[in-house]
Structure 1
Amino acid sequence: MSRLITLLLLLVALSASASIVSEQRIPARYMQTTEDANIWAQVGDRVVTVGNIRAGQILAVVPGAEDYYAFRFGFGSGFIDRGHLGAVSGNERVEDTLGDLNKPLSNQNLITWQDTPLYTSPDITSKQVGTLAENLRYPIIDKLKDRLNQTWFQIRIGNRLAWISSLDAQEDNGIPVLTYHHILRDEENTRFRHTSTTTSVRAFTNQMTWLRDQGYTTLSMYQLEGYVRNRMNLPARSVVITFDDGLKSVSRYAWPILREYGFKATAFIISSRIKRKPQPWDPKSLQFMSVSELNQIRDVFDVQSHTHFLHRVDDAMHPILLSRNYHNILFDFKRSRRALAQFNPHVLYLSYPFGGYDDKAVKAANDAGFHLAVTTVRGKVKPGDNPFLLKRLYVLRTDSLETMSRLISNQPQG
């Protein structure tokens, strides 16, 4: 066990230097595996086994720590025990087994649900390069149909081209970003029972339990940005949990549940409504968190912006943001970032109030220094999406766990 812990600590240290491979600061050298070898990489915020490479395979590697070499793996670096590598044998031609490094990725990933074979050609009778482990998202270079009309995905690993059958993996249909607002116990919910944005404590607990039992990883908005911009390897079973407004019920009910399960979430806060001191609990009114409550939940929640004064509607019940000019919107966005800096020095993400946005708001979000903005448009987030028009999903209080499963599973959204 101690050897495993030492290995994991070493790999965590190695993962910090992942840019060495992608930026090619150190020239790669071509080496050949002398035996079947496991490989590791950082996926999300963990270093995990991501598959294996079979004996006799050529990889482009760079020196890492004393016992490991690094190689290109997806959007980061993978690691292999140097004891599994040797010089390329004379009868192998390096140029025949390495990919075109200038060929761009297709802005598309595949998803593995099981250990997935890697082939040298789009043909199951071709030699196997190795396997990818289950629960991975991995970038695709290209895809094609074989003579049997079967789809194949082309990938690059260690600068090596390989093929995966669509019988063994799926195309990635995006990461679900879940939206919540208000949470109450059934017995105290007398005012908001029929409000779609209010979730019962029981339903929320069941939903989080389901996510935990299904092995989902909760992502931060920083990780979601890495996904949108094709910069980060992430698990197949990934979800982002967001709460809009900054209501007191979040700290009272959602925070302890998420903390118990080791989950992370994002709180989009209306900065002008933060209270100086906690209010006595009143389930019949919409109460907002105080400074101390926001500080308390920071071990689970990442604080981001839901604007400062723009979370209002006009007489026609339209988001007031839509009637404001660009400079008013920009001023509000910047003010919100400054106000929230006491809780988070990296306020880089925005949730439009009531999901309302227009061209002015999108431009202001970019100019105010935000990196991403989320809407209330239904759907999942995919690589290459407009970073200021990201979609989200609602899981309602009345939704069954079967409905939730269909909603967030890797199926195309209708």
Structure 2
Amino acid sequence: MFRTLVFHEVRPQKELNGRQRPIAVSDGYEDSLPLPLFDSLPLFEEQINYLKDAGYHSLSIGEVQGFYEKKLLLPEKSVLLTFDDCYQSMKEYAYPVLKKAGWKAAAFVVSGWLFDEPSAYDPNSSRVLSTAELEEMRDVFEYVNHTSHFHRRKGTTMSSAMWETTEDFKQDLYDCNQFVDIKDAFAYPFGLYDQRTIDTLKEMSFKLAFTTKPGVNTKDTHPLELHRDVIPYSLSIEQFKNLMEEV
């Protein structure tokens, strides 16, 4: 079994000032990133150091695929680290911590959000990185499908894949796959999906899909409804340790 952790923004404590920030993406979609999706840099460093010192194994997407497709055993205390959306803070703050620790992670990419050119880090917005910047971090991150332009929502109950046509969703998945490394794994935008979404992924030969439902993944977990635990800055290191002890 294994646990999957999801991070969005890792920021210094001084930037966690209790307010939401607008996202900045190349296709013009407008939204704000909720505060529970931020993690503090000091806490993130403590979390990664704890995982390393306590003997946890940093999983790859390929190992998770082998666990479900080939029934391969995973190392004890296995954990998959994931980042969603590829904001500037992923490169500015999370990447150096992971590289120093020798840890790998999967980054779910909204390919239609990526900018053509890098920009200076902006602490006042959640700005997405450029394609060139992602290329620079391939020694730590493997890139996985998170749609091309379908990372949109209506309220808190529907994402694009739930109201757009199946054919348009398939095309969007195909478009994102032209950029990412892993072409048969997926993360549901905002954690929102329905049975039609799952059926479309099956038709497109996707093997894994990640929700935002918390919990440990076992051999009995549906591989297209894998659990992920969102790690917010309000989670203390002791709470984090207690969470990981369940693996």
By the TM > 0.5 criterion, same fold? yes
What is the aligned partner in structure 2 of residue 199 from structure 1?
39
What is the aligned partner in structure 2 of residue 332 from structure 1?
172
Residues 304, 316 of structure 1: CA spacing in aligned structure 2 closer, same or farther, 3 A cutoff?
Answer: closer
Tell me which amino acid in the other structure corresponds to 1:383.
K
What is the aligned partner in structure 1 of residue 3 from structure 2?
176
Q: Spell out, residue by residue over 1:147-194, the C-alpha distance to the aligned partner (whole angstroms, 9 max, x if none).
A: xxxxxxxxxxxxxxxxxxxxxxxxxxx310001001111113334497
Tell me which amino acid in the other structure corresponds to 1:280.
A
Q: Is the 8 A contact 1:176 1:381 kept in 2?
A: yes
* Equivalent pairs, count: 234
Distance 1:316 1:404 in 2: 26
Distance 1:255 1:243 in 2: 11
What is the aligned partner in structure 2 of residue 355 from structure 1?
191
Tell me which amino acid in the other structure corresponds to 2:244.
I
Distance 1:230 1:303 in 2: 22
Distance 1:244 1:375 in 2: 12
Distance 1:256 1:247 in 2: 14
Q: Spell out, residue by residue over 1:349-392, the C-alpha distance to the aligned partner (whole angstroms, 9 max, x if none).
A: 10010011111111111222322010011111111322111111
Distance 2:70 2:231 in 1: 27
Q: Spell out, residue by residue over 1:194-222, the C-alpha distance to the aligned partner (whole angstroms, 9 max, x if none).
A: 70001111111110011011011100111
Distance 1:347 1:322 in 2: 21
What is the aligned partner in structure 1 of residue 65 from structure 2?
225
2:14 counterpart (187, 192, 202): 187
Structure with higher Rg: it is 1
Alignment of 1:233-272 (within 5 A): 233-272=73-112
Tell me which amino acid in the other structure corresponds to 1:355.
G
Q: Is the 8 A contact 2:92 2:121 kept in 1?
A: no
Distance 2:203 2:154 in 1: 25
1:377 counterpart (210, 213, 216): 213
Note if 1:364 corresponds to 2:200.
Answer: yes
Distance 2:244 2:229 in 1: 8
Greater shift after overlay, 267-276 or 357-366?
Answer: 357-366
Tell me which amino acid in the other structure corresponds to 1:199.
D
What is the aligned partner in structure 2 of residue 408 from structure 1?
244
Q: Is the 8 A contact 2:43 2:237 kept in 1?
A: no
Distance 2:126 2:185 in 1: 24
Higher strand share: 1
Distance 2:216 2:77 in 1: 13
**Paired residue secondary structure (1:177):** strand
Distance 1:196 1:316 in 2: 14
Alpha-carbon distance, 1:228 to partner: 2.5
Alpha-carbon distance, 1:401 to partner: 2.0
1:292 counterpart (132, 141, 155): 132
Q: Is the 8 A contact 2:37 2:231 kept in 1?
A: no
Distance 1:257 1:401 in 2: 16
Higher relative contact order (CA 8 A, sep 6+): 2
Q: Is the 8 A contact 1:229 1:383 kept in 2?
A: no
Distance 1:331 1:188 in 2: 38
Greater shift after overlay, 383-392 or 202-211?
Answer: 383-392
Distance 2:224 2:129 in 1: 26
1:320 counterpart (160, 165, 181): 160
Note if 1:387 corresponds to 2:217.
Answer: no
What is the aligned partner in structure 1 of residue 28 from structure 2?
none
Q: Is the 8 A contact 1:229 1:384 kept in 2?
A: no
Q: Spell out, residue by residue over 1:2-34, the C-alpha distance to the aligned partner (whole angstroms, 9 max, x if none).
A: xxxxxxxxxxxxxxxxxxxxxxxxxxxxxxxxx
Q: Spell out, residue by residue over 1:87-130, the C-alpha distance to the aligned partner (whole angstroms, 9 max, x if none).
A: xxxxxxxxxxxxxxxxxxxxxxxxxxxxxxxxxxxxxxxxxxxx
**Paired residue secondary structure (1:205):** helix
Distance 2:216 2:112 in 1: 30
Alignment of 1:96-175 (within 5 A): 174-175=1-2
**Paired residue secondary structure (1:178):** strand
Higher helix share: 2
Alignment of 1:38-117 (within 5 A): none
Q: Spell out, residue by residue over 1:121-144, the C-alpha distance to the aligned partner (whole angstroms, 9 max, x if none).
A: xxxxxxxxxxxxxxxxxxxxxxxx
Structure 2: state its 5+ residue gaps: 22-33
Distance 1:192 1:312 in 2: 17
Q: Is the 8 A contact 1:228 1:382 kept in 2?
A: no
2:234 counterpart (395, 398, 411): 398
Distance 1:337 1:369 in 2: 12
Residues 188, 220 of structure 1: CA spacing in aligned structure 2 closer, same or farther, 3 A cutoff?
Answer: same
TM-score (norm 1): 0.54
Query: Cα RMSD (Å) of the superposition?
Result: 1.8
